[in-house]
């Protein structure tokens, strides 16, 4: 197996094998959980590639190799959570730098930038990044980072990743050399050009590979689809630029935002079935989105797989399928929405997403509460579904009875 060039194999094969060859000492076909904090050294500074578990761990290394392969990147780094990963990326900014981000940003990302990094002189503005005209107008001379998701959370907007990348090239020139000027270990550093960061959590690398469309960095909350079983919290960053990798690796080791080996092992296990899970998630979500369109209690459905979605053509071009996330608004505002999310029996009322089980939530009062009063504020009538892989008939029946509870016959208008 060691002679195989995994880059020439298909996604499902790489997810099972790349970076995960049988362990040499025993022949174990699954990467072991190296549950150790330190490693024996034969002499001072003489070791087998590992010296302390905050710096590196073989199970983490296997995960980083695997996710880089699946995203088509040169390297990957694993973190204790998705937000720890984004925090480490933001360390590349210095006071006075400007960030352009989506007006439909995940609440945790918005909170991190607005409530923490803005304290230290990082400026930001928000536009609809699914509208390239707004992107063009939003870019500034001092913009150093563009942060987006596609699909976005929670309105499932689709951002034309290649289109945004092209606009950045038009404004700032073709990228040449390394993106970060930094001498390792020093305090002086700066981004030599703006970088495009894409949060690929909602799509997963099975459905979309942003680096292939011009992104500089990809981030995942591996807690979601990559882990796939709602039993782990972990973040991942993937890229090609070696200067960014060196910088982020140094800061990760210095600040300690690392995952444990068991968490890395759980995500490796999840990656092995990612392809078949994403196909089922996507198929179920499409059926539910189509069904919701005809329910009189539903005001609007947000799903990029629907032909009337604003950027459906872009989604069809840059995604293999349309993922398992569906959002919809209901007539009756907060009162109706709160009754719907409380009435489901198969869908569990809970935050997070991407597990095999179906979840339902009210973003405005749950995952996106931190955006209240901002440009990214979420409507009180919005409901978000993470569609699992249960039987589609049971899922639709559950939503049907919940919508009947929330909206008595005839009460279909606000």
> What sign for the dihedral angle of Cα 364, 368, 370, 374?
negative
Q: Indicate whether 35 belongs to any domain.
A: yes
Residue 310 shares a structural domain with residue 266: no
Residue 42 shares a structural domain with residue 176: yes
Is 155 an active-site residue? no
Query: Is residue 354 classed as helix, strand or coil in its secondary structure?
Result: coil
Q: Indicate whether 84 belongs to any domain.
A: yes
CATH number of the domain bearing residue 331: 3.90.1150.10
From 217, 252, 272, give the residue that closes a domain.
272
**Spatial CA neighbour of 37 closest among 23, 53, 16:** 53
Residue 228 shares a structural domain with residue 289: no
Write the DSSP assignment of 358-411 as a string of letters.
-EEE-GGGTTTGGGTTSTTPPPTTEEEEE--SS-HHHHHHHHHHHHHHHS-TT-
pLDDT score for 411: 47
Write the DSSP assignment of 213-279 as a string of letters.
GT-SEEEEETTTTTT-SS----EEEEES-HHHHHHHHHHHHHHT----HHHHHHHHHHHHTHHHHHH
Residue 195 shares a structural domain with residue 131: yes
Residue 138 shares a structural domain with residue 263: yes
Which residue out of 224, 277, 299, 384 is catalytically annotated? 224
Residue pair 358/390 in contact (Cβ under 8 Å)? The answer is yes
- What the block records as the tokens of 193 is 């050009």
pTM of the model: 0.94
From 218, 249, 272, give the residue that closes a domain.
272
**Spatial CA neighbour of 346 closest among 394, 299, 303:** 394
* Overall domain count for the chain: 2
pLDDT score for 3: 78
Owning domain of residue 106: 6-272
pLDDT score for 364: 86
pLDDT score for 407: 67
Is 39 an active-site residue? no
- Contact partners, residue 43, CB within 8 Å, separation at least 6: none
pLDDT score for 410: 40
Q: Indicate whether 105 belongs to any domain.
A: yes
Residue 342 shares a structural domain with residue 303: yes
Residue pair 139/133 in contact (Cβ under 8 Å)? The answer is no
pLDDT score for 2: 60
Residue 52 shares a structural domain with residue 148: yes
pLDDT score for 359: 98
Burial class (CB in 10 A: 0-12, 13-18, 19+), 131: middle
pLDDT score for 405: 85
Q: Indicate whether 144 belongs to any domain.
A: yes
Cis amide linkage into residue 151, ω under 30° from 0? yes
- What the block records as the tokens of 371 is 């955006």
Mean pLDDT for all residues in the chain: 94
Could you read off the pLDDT of 211-238 as tens digits, one per residue? 999 999 999 999 999 999 999 999 999 9
- What the block records as the tokens of 65 is 């190799």
Query: Is residue 290 classed as helix, strand or coil in its secondary structure?
Result: helix
Residue 118 shares a structural domain with residue 258: yes
CATH number of the domain bearing residue 53: 3.40.640.10
Residue 186 shares a structural domain with residue 253: yes
Residue 254 shares a structural domain with residue 331: no
Which residue out of 104, 128, 199, 381 is catalytically annotated? 199
Is 225 an active-site residue? no
Residue 217 shares a structural domain with residue 341: no
pLDDT score for 365: 86
Is 106 an active-site residue? yes
Residue 280 shares a structural domain with residue 370: yes
From 272, 307, 338, give the residue that closes a domain.
272
Q: Indicate whether 320 belongs to any domain.
A: yes
The partner residues of 382 in beta bridges, in order of sequence, read 329
Which residue out of 34, 106, 155, 206 is catalytically annotated? 106
pLDDT score for 377: 77
Low-confidence residues of the chain: pLDDT under 50: 1, 410-412, 414
Q: Indicate whether 414 belongs to any domain.
A: no
């Amino acid at each position: 197996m060691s002679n195989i060039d995994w880059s020439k194999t298909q996604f499902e094969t790489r997810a099972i094998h790349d970076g995960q060859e049988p362990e040499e000492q025993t022949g174990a076909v699954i990467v072991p959980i190296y549950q150790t904090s330190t490693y024996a050294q034969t002499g001072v500074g003489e070791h087998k590639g590992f010296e302390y578990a905050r710096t590196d761990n073989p199970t983490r290394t296997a995960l980083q190799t695997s996710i880089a392969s699946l995203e088509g990147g040169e390297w990957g780094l694993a973190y204790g959570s998705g937000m720890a990963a984004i925090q480490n990326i933001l360390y590349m900014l210095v006071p006075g730098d400007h960030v352009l981000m989506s007006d439909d940003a995940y609440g945790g990302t918005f909170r991190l930038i607005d409530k923490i990094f803005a304290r230290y002189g990082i400026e930001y503005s928000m536009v609809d990044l699914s509208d390239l005209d707004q992107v063009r107008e939003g870019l500034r001379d001092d913009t150093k980072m563009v942060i987006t998701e596609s699909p976005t959370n929670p309105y499932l907007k689709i951002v034309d990743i290649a289109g945004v990348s092209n606009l950045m090239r038009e404004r700032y020139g073709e990228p040449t050399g390394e993106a970060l000027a930094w001498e390792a270990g020093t305090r002086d550093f700066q981004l030599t050009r703006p970088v495009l960061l894409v949060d690929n959590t909602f799509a997963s690398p099975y459905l979309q590979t942003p680096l292939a469309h011009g992104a500089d960095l990809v981030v995942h909350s591996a807690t979601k689809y990559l882990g796939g079983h709602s039993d782990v919290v972990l973040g991942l960053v993937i890229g090609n630029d070696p200067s960014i990798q060196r910088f982020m690796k140094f800061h990760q080791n210095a600040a300690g935002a690392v995952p444990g080996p068991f968490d890395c092992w759980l995500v490796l296990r999840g990656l092995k079935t990612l392809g078949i899970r994403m196909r089922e998630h996507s198929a179920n979500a499409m059926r539910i989105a189509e069904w919701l369109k005809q329910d009189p209690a539903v005001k609007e459905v947000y799903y990029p797989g629907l032909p009337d979605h604003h950027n459906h053509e872009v989604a069809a071009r840059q995604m293999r399928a349309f993922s398992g996330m569906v959002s919809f608004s209901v007539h009756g505002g907060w009162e109706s929405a709160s009754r719907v999310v409380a009435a489901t029996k198969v869908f569990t009322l809970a935050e997070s997403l991407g597990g095999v089980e179906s979840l339902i939530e009210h973003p405005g009062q749950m995952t996106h509460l931190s955006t209240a009063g901002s440009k990214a504020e979420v409507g009180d009538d919005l409901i978000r579904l993470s569609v699992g892989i249960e039987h589609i008939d049971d899922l639709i029946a559950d939503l049907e009875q919940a919508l009947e509870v929330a909206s008595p016959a005839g009460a279909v208008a606000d």
